[in-house]
Structure 1
Amino acid sequence: MAALPVVVIEPVDLAALLDEALTVQALAFGLSADEVEVRRPIVQRHLREPGARALGALAPPGVLVGFVYGMPNDRRHWWSTVVEPPLRHSGHDHWLDNSFVITELHVHPAFQARGIGRALITGITDTAAEPRSILSAIDTESPARGLYRSLGYRDLARRVLFPSTSSAYAVMGAPLPLRRAY
């Protein structure tokens, strides 16, 4: 059996790697070409937000096989305006304040289940100034939700619907630093 390539996690200029990142996201999330193109200007806009940063998972010879990006949350952001009513209803809307939001986290399917997603999310949140992190994930039992729970994220609101998506999402939050497996 051939050894798997060593993957390095490091800060990246995601805007410069946008095509590669969107390819990883499409493969990991099952997106069509049209869905990918809708996301391109959204990611570009996010990366211009104050405090936005990204980490990449790079396999030799520098191929992007995973990424995470996020930023300090701002209640004026579109995402926050959508999740605020369900969070308020569940008594958790205070999580929108002083939180670092994980905007996207994706790992190429060939590199999943190797700890890369865990390394990406802990790496980016370890440098956050905020005391907690929030994110949204498809509201179904999945490896991603299992990963988030293992790191200390818990459901804050469920069955959240975003415009133009048919899947319900869960909003999850965790105190920082994220829990480590010991």
Structure 2
Amino acid sequence: MFEYKEISRDEELLNQVANLYQQVWYQEDRSISDRVVRHAGYDGYRGFVAIYEQEEVAGYAYGYFSQPGQYYHGLLSKAFNPEEYQNWLEDCFEFVELGVHPAFRNQGLAKQLVTRLIDGVEHKNAVLTTQSNNAPARSLYANLGWTVINEAFYPNGDEESYIIMGKKLQKEDK
């Protein structure tokens, strides 16, 4: 039903991802295109889109190697004590975005995108954040083996509460 393509620095695909982001999250944020393009240049970047029939992007997922100096890594690091930081963020793939067009929800697409994105990542761990009250996302990630590692994360100050979830990955020692 879906054709999966890797998102690289293909400007057309990145623009479609940005447009879908705005639809999914109901935001008119024009800077999302710049952010998606910037993220595509980060070390360890991986991204996939699910294409439906007439080249329509039905969903996307992307992430990258989380490193000091990156904005969100800095926010995440403040949420952990030194031991937690070492356990979760030192060799970490940061799962940044997942979006599925409303017309394609509840068809297993989100699960396929998450699995495809994480499969083959060569880091010890993966982390993600989602809104504390986003029950469908929490359920999806829990069913895929992610665990809550921080229940009270406020990346935007005292505004909306998020959770941080993590997953231990199978990394081969060389």
**TM class by smaller structure:** 0.7 to 0.9
1: CA distance, partners of 2:160 / 2:145: 24
The 3-state SS of whatever aligns with 2:44 is coil
Which residue of the other structure, out of 85, 92, 106, is the alignment partner of 2:84? 92
Matched, 1:110 2:103: yes
Which residue of the other structure, out of 5, 13, 16, is the alignment partner of 2:8? 13
Displacement, 1:131? 2.3
Paired residue type of 2:102 = P
Deviations 1:108-152 (A, max 9, x none): 011011111111111111120112211111111421111011111
**Structure 1 length-normalised TM:** 0.84
Taking structure 1 as reference, are residues 165 and 38 closer, same or farther at Cα in structure 2, changes over 3 Å only? farther
> RMSD of the alignment, in Å?
1.9
4+ residue segments displaced more than 4 Å: none
**Structure 2 length-normalised TM:** 0.87
Taking structure 1 as reference, are residues 46 and 133 closer, same or farther at Cα in structure 2, changes over 3 Å only? same
The 3-state SS of whatever aligns with 2:81 is helix
Deviations 1:77-98 (A, max 9, x none): 1111111122228x52220111
Q: How does 1:40-51 map to 2 (within 5 A)?
A: 40-51=33-44
Q: How does 1:24-35 map to 2 (within 5 A)?
A: 24-31=20-27, 33=28
Using the aligned pairs only, state the percent identity. Answer: 22
Structure 1 gap ranges (5+): 1-5, 178-182
Matched, 1:61 2:47: no
Paired residue type of 1:174 = K
The answer to whether the 8 Å contact 1:161/1:167 transfers is yes
Equivalent residue, structure 2, for 1:139? 132
1: CA distance, partners of 2:9 / 2:110: 16
2: CA distance, partners of 1:124 / 1:8: 14
The 3-state SS of whatever aligns with 2:31 is helix
1: CA distance, partners of 2:98 / 2:58: 11
Query: Aligned residue pairs: how many?
Result: 168
Structure 2 gap ranges (5+): none
1: CA distance, partners of 2:101 / 2:145: 24
Displacement, 1:18? 2.4
